[in-house]
Amino acid sequence: MPLLNPAQTGVTLPGPAATLLYDDWYPALRTARLRRGKLAKALLLDIPLVLGRKSDGSVFAMRDSCPHRGIPLSAGWFDGQHVTCRYHGWEFEPCGGQCQAIPSLSSHDRLDPTRIFATAYPCEERDGHAWVYVAGPGTGRKGEGVAEKPVPELAKFGARYRSAFLTADLPCDVDHGIIGLMDPAHGPFVHQAWWWRTRGSIREKTKRFEPIPEGFRMSAHAPSGNSAPYKLLGVYGKPVETTIDFVLPNRRTEVIRCGDKWFSSLTTVTPVTASTCRIDVVAAWNVFYHVPLVTPIARFFGAKFVRQDQVTMIQQAEGLRHNPSLMLIDDADKPAKWYFALKQARLEASHSPVSESRPGALEIKHPLDGPVELHWRS
């Protein structure tokens, strides 16, 4: 079952829009799309971007709009050094956005082209993603907060591993994408399969959570006894332990360790527009390193899993178009409540005048005072 692209999802009217979190890193596209001398387009938080890779290997992301008359820069040329606008030929250095030549200037002109800048965003490559730092509107061209926030990266525990990547467009806003990601109660219904869960395998669970900066952690625990992939790890005869973190704005990381064997994943739900999002999963592992075909098999099961979520969210988007009032219940929706509280706290912190003069005051009020236990059946 292949994943669907947005046109195939069949959802025509946009659903409700989410408030977006700025001043953070988001994956814009896969760097495999950045071919030598070519420009690639992406939409991120409703911002049209043009991305590329310079001859020296560095990646860049600019607003896909010429500061002269607004024509998309992606319509122009890229020689590995400069992006040239196709309308009047202004040349830009794409990492910093500085204009370096305006062909129409004559000996009578005093205009210094280097004082003109196209909008360029901090852009870094990690795990095959081009991560773009999206500063809040009106907070300066480069985003002052960028230095304090490390570029997100998948945790790896050794040099030898296999890896895989999956993506799916979701026709719902980023909030629904994220709470769907952290929702423990949909597993037995959406992901019904012999190798994962069945309704018959539902059992009561107790999970311990603890606060971490801008997020929460499902404390290290032995994974669900009722799912086959985890049972497979039993062949190593060592205790299996898994830790799952969620951190604003959109990142879920899961690390499973079993002696010196490990599996690690980083899942992000990224706003493409205010009312649509995309889920990306990067994973690496050294478990079953020598088993032939393990990567295609992992990709197959991973794709099936993500596709099940995608199909459910396409159906959900159908319902959300009519703006129904919704509910969150304890304890199964508690992580979703924490997400909304963390997001709200961050929005308030970024708007408070105190935080602008004292960046340290950006410490946000955390919805968890300390460790708690949640109970649900799944």
Residues that bind ligand FES (CB under 6 A): 66, 68-69, 71, 85, 87-88, 90
Tokens of 229: 């992939």
Cβ neighbours of 117 (radius 10 Å): 16
Tokens of 282: 């990067």
Residue 264 near residue 156, CB atoms below 8 Å: yes
Residue 179 beta carbon to Fe ion: minimum distance, rounded to whole angstroms: 11
Q: Which is nearer to ligand FES, 70 or 359 (CB)?
A: 70
Residue 44 beta carbon to ligand FES: minimum distance, rounded to whole angstroms: 22
Determine the Cα–Cα distance for residues 4 and 352; give it in Å rounded to an integer: 41
Residue 368 near residue 178, CB atoms below 8 Å: no
Residue 187 beta carbon to Fe ion: minimum distance, rounded to whole angstroms: 7
Residue 309 beta carbon to Fe ion: minimum distance, rounded to whole angstroms: 4
SS3 33: helix
Q: Which is nearer to ligand FES, 36 or 88 (CB)?
A: 88
Q: Which is nearer to ligand FES, 73 or 218 (CB)?
A: 73
Tokens of 308: 């099940």
**Window 73-102: residues binding Fe ion (CB under 5 A):** none
Residue 183 beta carbon to Fe ion: minimum distance, rounded to whole angstroms: 7
Q: Which residue is nearest to Fe ion (CB)?
A: 309
Segment holding 215, helix H or strand E: strand 215-221
Question: Residue 87 binds what, of ligand FES, Fe ion, none (CB under 5 to 8 Å, by partner type)?
Answer: ligand FES
Question: Residue 164 binds what, of ligand FES, Fe ion, none (CB under 5 to 8 Å, by partner type)?
Answer: none
Q: Which is nearer to ligand FES, 76 or 180 (CB)?
A: 76
Q: Which is nearer to ligand FES, 90 or 121 (CB)?
A: 90
- Within the chain, where are the H helices? 174-181, 187-190, 228-233, 294-320, 334-351, 353-357
The residues, any chain, with a CB within 8 Å of residue 301's CB and separated by 6 or more, are 195, 229
**Window 145-204: residues binding Fe ion (CB under 5 A):** none
Q: Which is nearer to ligand FES, 68 or 162 (CB)?
A: 68
Residue 95 beta carbon to ligand FES: minimum distance, rounded to whole angstroms: 18
Q: Which is nearer to ligand FES, 68 or 186 (CB)?
A: 68
Residue 197 beta carbon to Fe ion: minimum distance, rounded to whole angstroms: 10
Q: Which is nearer to ligand FES, 29 or 73 (CB)?
A: 73
Question: Residue 309 binds what, of Fe ion, ligand FES, none (CB under 5 to 8 Å, by partner type)?
Answer: Fe ion
Question: Residue 66 binds what, of ligand FES, Fe ion, none (CB under 5 to 8 Å, by partner type)?
Answer: ligand FES
Question: Which 3-state string (H, E, C) describes 46-90?
Answer: CEEEEEEECCCCCEEEEECCCCCCCCCHHHCEECCCCEECCCCCC
Residue 31 near residue 127, CB atoms below 8 Å: no
Q: Which is nearer to ligand FES, 141 or 203 (CB)?
A: 141
Question: Residue 11 binds what, of ligand FES, Fe ion, none (CB under 5 to 8 Å, by partner type)?
Answer: none
Residue 168 near residue 278, CB atoms below 8 Å: yes
The residues, any chain, with a CB within 8 Å of residue 80's CB and separated by 6 or more, are 36, 37, 54, 55
Question: Residue 71 binds what, of Fe ion, ligand FES, none (CB under 5 to 8 Å, by partner type)?
Answer: ligand FES
**Window 286-345: residues binding Fe ion (CB under 5 A):** 309
Question: Residue 69 binds what, of ligand FES, Fe ion, none (CB under 5 to 8 Å, by partner type)?
Answer: ligand FES
Tell how strand 129-134 and strand 123-126 pair up. antiparallel
Residue 79 beta carbon to ligand FES: minimum distance, rounded to whole angstroms: 16
SS3 26: strand
SS3 129: strand
Q: Which residues bind Fe ion (CB under 5 A)?
A: 309
